[in-house]
Amino acid sequence: MKPEYKPFVDELIELAIEEDLGDGDHTSLACIPAEAHGRMRLLCKQEGVLAGVEIAQLVLHRLDPAMRFEQLLDDGARVKPGDVAFYVSGRLQSLLQAERILLNIMQRMSGVATQTAVYVARLEGLHTRVLDTRKTTPGMRVLDKMAVKIGGGENHRMGLFDMILLKDNHIDFAGGIRAAIARTRDYLAARGKQLPIECEVRSLEDIDEVFAAGGVDRIMFDNFTPEMTRRAMEKVAGRCETESSGGITLDTLREYAECGVDFISVGALTHQIRSLDMSLKACE
């Protein structure tokens, strides 16, 4: 885990525990003796890419530091039905409190990682990399971003604070591409910030406007057809990084990549996923 992610993860875990436990797990408190100990295993029930093992361990140790964690598989492992990712042993009340929180996190993260791996595989042999977007579940972004990396994809930006992305609305409200870029450069200089600048373009002519303004690190081709993308790449001619975005599906992904773009951003990596089925069950 990147050090800068840790505060987000810690806060997310605290919220997950608070919303699930409230003033206590009264079911477990009512029928499970406080001194009872046991062992459980994380069982994978579908094929996919495992993600969230590191976070599961944080959840378990946050609820009960005395729990013993026996890891068998790492994040990024290809799993099939019947694979066991880890065993955990300790107080039964603590294990039962952790069960749903842990599964919610791991099933979603594994679903994101699995879907990302499918997109990454479609680009085998090409230099183009798959990027995620900010289309994430509120509060879960850090885990979604981690899962994309585990699945072989790349992170675009964590939020609005770590990169400049001049999109259509910014450009329209600012009075055009040149004005938006100029104001951005002035803003960063005045505050002593060094953030990468990316600018969205909606036409081939917009590319000329971007280079006339100067100072942009990446151009995003928004809703271009593959033919437009090829022509756009000829215009850019290696002067900056390039990204395709907007309406690109798994079926069209490789066609866009073959145009030579550096990145393709895909919102579906995080907002159209199926969680991977798994369970945390008692065992010997």
Residues serving a catalytic function are 100, 135, 167, 200, 222
- 44 with 79: CB under 8 angstroms? yes
Q: How far is CA 99 from CA 79, 89, 236, 254, in A?
A: 20, 12, 51, 40
Q: What are phi and psi of 34, to 5 degrees?
A: -60, -30
Question: How many C-beta atoms surround the C-beta of residue 104 within 10 A?
Answer: 16
HSE-CB for 108 with a 13 A CA cutoff: 19
- 248 with 268: CB under 8 angstroms? no
- CB-based contacts of 38: which residues, under 8 Å, 6+ apart? 89, 90, 92, 95, 282
